[in-house]
Amino acid sequence: MTGVAILGSTGSVGKSTLDVIARHPDRFRVLALAARGRRELLLEQCLAFRPELAVLAEPEGARELAAALKQHGLRTAVLTGEAGLAAAATLPGAEIVMAAIVGAAGLRSTFAAARAGRRVLLANKEALVMSGRLLLEAVAAGGAALLPIDSEHNAIFQCLPPGPAGVRAPGVRRVWLTASGGPFLRWPAARLASVTPEEACAHPRWVMGRKISVDSATLMNKGLELIEAELLFGLAPGGVEVVVHPESIVHSLVEYVDGSTLAQLGNPDMRTPIAHALAWPERIESGVESLDLLRLGALRFEAPDRSQFPCLKLAEAATRTGGTAPALLNAANEVAVAAFLEGRLNFTAIAEVIERVLQRLAAGPVASLEDVLAADADARREAGGLIGASGGVAA
């Protein structure tokens, strides 16, 4: 039996992880579950999987969860806050930690799991984008393994020979990162300003949390993924090429110097990369339907439109700048996306906020996690100040 801790269990990736685990009760045991505020769902998950530990970031909800669990006769311990997340990430016996908290909120717990030498299943790309090589160093120092959950990075991982995270595999010419193009592919630029949160969250291929859905619509998700891919696979800026592939069947490709290009294909369902990483190097059933090649029809590939979706360009510039630039980019994006989802910012102003933050704040070197957290705080303050009440960006 392999013990598993799921950080962000009530989210889209967390629920898919529990779906896969439920198919293999003889193989995995859920030891810890953690979420922010969705108490009722976390309670349901605790009743179904009977973990040793449940964590709810909101203290009031945690107290109510503890009382409800007691009422049901469960001996699950309940903790709260960052200390609770660290306890879940390092719980004895939990060999696998699914890092599926969204955004910078997952940074410390992902590090805790890496330092404790766990097999870290990395969905929380923001943690890696922010901290860069620091996370890879923590993985190496802790003797941990880092397995990518993003379908694209999991695809690349599957197309590469085995090797440590952060080291370029021999013979690789470049990596092709596929992008669905999001819900607004080929929309006229003029229509983008009035896009609503509901439209932005209605992704044509994937069902995901709201923040990543907006990131997919702006193409910032692909920008974050580009930085993630450079770090995970030891590639220099320019070593990752983004290509729009609206069908989302080819999840990414690796091109070798001899002209071979390897790809991983599958239906767009996160349970495939999750099952792959849970069982690696073995293979297990995920519940995902077989790919019906005869019914697929044509697969299309095209260049992304960086003028229509400037977030991709901003991420490419941030990775070239290096240092704290990706952390600044990530934090400004998180603040702008939250404001958009709350109806306080226009869709097209998301990129404007990020660009202005990157112009105003100089990137510095990253020597420690404190440097990353300081950059994150500065960019949040700056972005917050730029977002006016009018839906646009303050001068």
Ligand X SMILES: NC(=O)c1ccc[n+]([C@@H]2O[C@H](COP(=O)([O-])OP(=O)(O)OC[C@H]3O[C@@H](n4cnc5c(N)ncnc54)[C@H](OP(=O)(O)O)[C@@H]3O)[C@@H](O)[C@H]2O)c1
Q: Order the strands of the 240-244 sheet from edge to edge.
A: 240-244, 172-179, 250-256, 261-265
Rule CB under 6 A: say whether 38 interacts with ligand X.
yes
Give the Cα separation of 47 and 58 in Å (integer). 20
What count of other Cβ atoms lies within 10 Å of the Cβ of residue 50? Answer: 15
Question: Which of 3, 8, 246, 326 is the binder for ligand X (CB under 6 A)?
Answer: 8
CB of 333 to ligand X, least distance (A): 11
Query: Beta 250-256 vs 172-179: how paired, if at all?
Result: antiparallel
Shortest Å, Cβ 18 to ligand X: 11
- Residue among 102, 116, 172, 318 that touches ligand X (CB under 6 A): 102
Q: Which of 21, 62, 87, 123 binds ligand X (CB under 6 A)?
A: 123
Among 66, 270, 325, 386, binds ligand X (CB under 6 A): 270
Query: Which of 45, 110, 124, 324 contacts ligand X by CB under 6 A?
Result: 124
Q: Pick between residue 125 and residue 245 the one whose CB is nearest to ligand X.
A: 125
Pairwise CA distance, residues 7 & 13, whole Å: 10
Give the amino acid at 251: H
Q: Which among 95-103, 111-119, 363-371, 383-391 is the span making contact with ligand X, rule CB under 6 A?
A: 95-103
What tokens were used for 258?
């001899």
- Helix axis angle, 12-22 relative to 271-279, nearest 10°? 60
C-alpha distance from residue 118 to each of 4, 284, 332 (Å): 10, 20, 30
Letters for 187-216 (x = contact with ligand X by CB under 6 A, - = none) are -------------------x-xx-xx----
Candidate segments 12-20, 46-54, 173-181, 291-299, binder of ligand X by CB under 6 A: 12-20
Among 25, 37, 164, 287, binds ligand X (CB under 6 A): 37
Nearer to ligand X, 108 or 118 (CB): 108
User: What does the chain come to in residues?
Assistant: 395
Residues 234, 17: Cα–Cα separation, whole Å: 27
Closest CB to ligand X among residues 32, 328: 32
User: Does 54 help bind ligand X (rule: CB under 6 A)?
Assistant: no
Minimum gap (Å) between residue 72 Cβ and ligand X: 19
**Nearest by Cα to 77 from 87, 86, 102:** 87
**Among positions 20, 66, 78, 100, the unique one binding ligand X when judged by CB under 6 A:** 100
Distances (CA, A) of 86 to 37, 230, 334: 17, 27, 22
Dihedral of the alpha carbons of 100, 102, 319, 376, in degrees to the nearest 10: -130
222 binds ligand X (CB under 6 A): no
Spell out where 188-249 has E strands. Answer: 240-244
The interface mask with ligand X, positions 134-173, x = CB under 6 A, is ---------------xx-----------------------
Told to check if 14 binds ligand X by CB under 6 A, we report yes
Which residue from 254, 215, 261, 221 is spatially nearest to 235, judged by alpha carbons?
Answer: 254
Is residue 219 a contact point for ligand X (CB under 6 A)? no
Tokens representing 356 are 């202005």
Specify the residue, 37 or 143, whose C-beta has the smaller distance to ligand X. Answer: 37
CA dist., res. 320 & res. 322, Å (int): 5
- 32 or 349: CB nearest ligand X: 32
Q: Is residue 275 close enough to count as binding ligand X by CB under 6 A? A: no
Amino acid (one-letter) located at 229 = A
Q: Which C-beta is closer to ligand X: that of 9 or that of 180? A: 9
Q: Does 105 bind ligand X (CB under 6 A)?
A: yes
Q: Residue 386: which of 316, 321, 342, 339 has the closest Cα?
A: 339
- The window from 96-104, 188-196, 319-327, 384-392 that contacts ligand X (CB under 6 A) reads 96-104
**Omega before residue 281 within 30° of 0, cis:** yes
Q: What residue ranges bind ligand X (CB under 6 A)?
A: 8-14, 34-38, 57, 100-102, 105, 123-126, 149-150, 206, 208-209, 211-212, 270
